[in-house]
Structure 1
């Protein structure tokens, strides 16, 4: 684990160093109408990804940036370790084998998918991509997908701080500037409301389970149990408590320098709910409320978000 962990941290530090030498306008590129970060994605990678062969026993975590994907990645890799009679965090665990790659399916080089084809099952795969941009084999082979969503106002707030802390994304002088870009599809990975709307088309499929950031925050033990049941992984009480302890924000933030290097300080900021109240103006609240109504209110995912509870002042 130590050696492969260092490999990942070294890759991240090289990416950040490369971003520092780039002009702001060079940090994002557009592919099929959506912006992506230049330092970790490329058109060549997306073209190679189309032929990626997903396996029916792969486990995919799908989530827009800043919805809690690193948090849920911890839970899922620990559960997969337990299913294979391994101790989470040990040298034989899932992360030890796969951590040499950048953690998201769309991050890295075009040869990545050849290397991934040699990984033993089950493979854990995370992605920020919309469903229409995933390889067709994902849906053809009915891969189990955990879809993670979060209230849009906290997503925007967290994304703003993240952008200003990470060299590989454009930074912003003001929150107002970021909010404008977020609402006009100019941030990396596109419009969050469109993301939700596209995934909503798949929300009823039996191989897809939707969970919200807020429900995991409210009751981590219940969330871990529910996810484990979805994946068909039996858990005893001791295993459950181990996963819950390891996935706590405090535990992950404490270990972040070891797991993510300098990137850890940017990745684990607050881990809370309702931070949006510190930034949003009345006009911005109205604009986001309107966008929610237009794109996702009344749908399965829209109801799941409990917008009135988490996004109304």
Structure 2
């Protein structure tokens, strides 16, 4: 496959434009690149699309599927940058503008369903949609926005939370995004899986993904997929942890792209007032929707510590990144929204 060069070295403006009402960061996307992704006829029946809202486990899912496609052999994930293994559909240099791609193609997207590639819906191509507790998404996206050169400064935690709940962040409303894609539930070519399910049972989740893709693995290959897709393994892999990106795109001094890789971190950051405000909107927006794994966690009902975090330089600020190189840990993998989100 041709080697895409999707990232520019210059400082990006940190401004957004709208495409059919959805906000996108300037510099990595353009109306033309999104229109190409939406209207292309270049969809193959064996294409595999990974679709997520930003900071919902995209990098984790890419790593897992890359390993599945190679039957557990880690050579590919150790030698090719992640954005080349699963290019983005909607970036300025996107998957549909790249020639000579192998089959099956693995592609990534954050697009909401209403502007997703139209040709997909009349094809046999497959979508794996990965969801995540939106409270954890808020925290992860806030941290990411502090180090990503292409995104607006998120402002204070309160400001960012208000923007998130109104859908005034990159790729728009989390609520609309997940509700839109869940209309695909029950289709043979659609799999919905959550970050929380992968955290709770990585091997079982990998087996489920293998079944959906029609690619069963033997015991040894399955074990290799699981071992190489843990958070520690990904954080130590320079082809997957985005340390290859220049500081103009990711300020590695202010934080790591793969930060924690845990569920429930929101409880370390939300104040009581923020949690209550979020819950009011969540209950209204998700009324009538099925129960999600994050709704079933009994700890999710516990009130977070009432720490003040409404001013800048508070608990939502990115943690300083250690100077030492990251080492593998047994923890399980997290998401990284990619270099662009």
Regarding TM over 0.5, the answer is: yes
Determine if contact 1:197/1:295 at 8 Å carries over to the other structure. no
Residue in 2 aligned with 1:67?
56
Residue in 2 aligned with 1:44?
32
State the distance in 1 between where 2:186 and 2:76 align.
36
Q: CA RMSD in A?
A: 2.7
Q: Any idea what the Cα deviations from partners look like across 1:118-158, whole Å, max 9, x if unmatched?
A: 31210001111111111111111032111100011001111
**More helix as a share of residues:** 1
State the distance in 1 between where 2:41 and 2:81 align.
19
Determine if contact 2:196/2:294 at 8 Å carries over to the other structure. no
State the distance in 2 between where 1:73 and 1:225 align.
15
Unmatched 5+ stretches in structure 2: 303-341
Which aligned runs of 4 or more in structure 1 are off by greater than 3 angstroms? 95-102, 256-259, 262-266
Matched, 1:219 2:201: yes
Matched, 1:151 2:141: no
* Secondary structure of the corresponding residue to residue 128 of structure 2: strand
Matched, 1:30 2:18: yes
Residue in 2 aligned with 1:312?
301
Unmatched 5+ stretches in structure 1: none
- Identify which of 285, 289, 294 aligns with 2:284: 294
State the distance in 2 between where 1:178 and 1:241 align.
40
Give the TM-score taking structure 2 as reference length. 0.78
Residue in 1 aligned with 2:74?
88
Q: Any idea what the Cα deviations from partners look like across 1:160-219, whole Å, max 9, x if unmatched?
A: 001011111112342111111111111100010111111121122121111110110111
Residue in 1 aligned with 2:175?
193
Determine if contact 1:149/1:305 at 8 Å carries over to the other structure. no
Q: Any idea what the Cα deviations from partners look like across 1:21-60, whole Å, max 9, x if unmatched?
A: x3x4xx2111111111112110011222212421111111
Do the aligned partners of residues 192 and 294 (structure 1) sit closer, same or farther apart at CA in structure 2, a change above 3 Å counting? same
Determine if contact 2:234/2:240 at 8 Å carries over to the other structure. no
Do the aligned partners of residues 97 and 278 (structure 1) sit closer, same or farther apart at CA in structure 2, a change above 3 Å counting? closer
Residue in 1 aligned with 2:216?
234
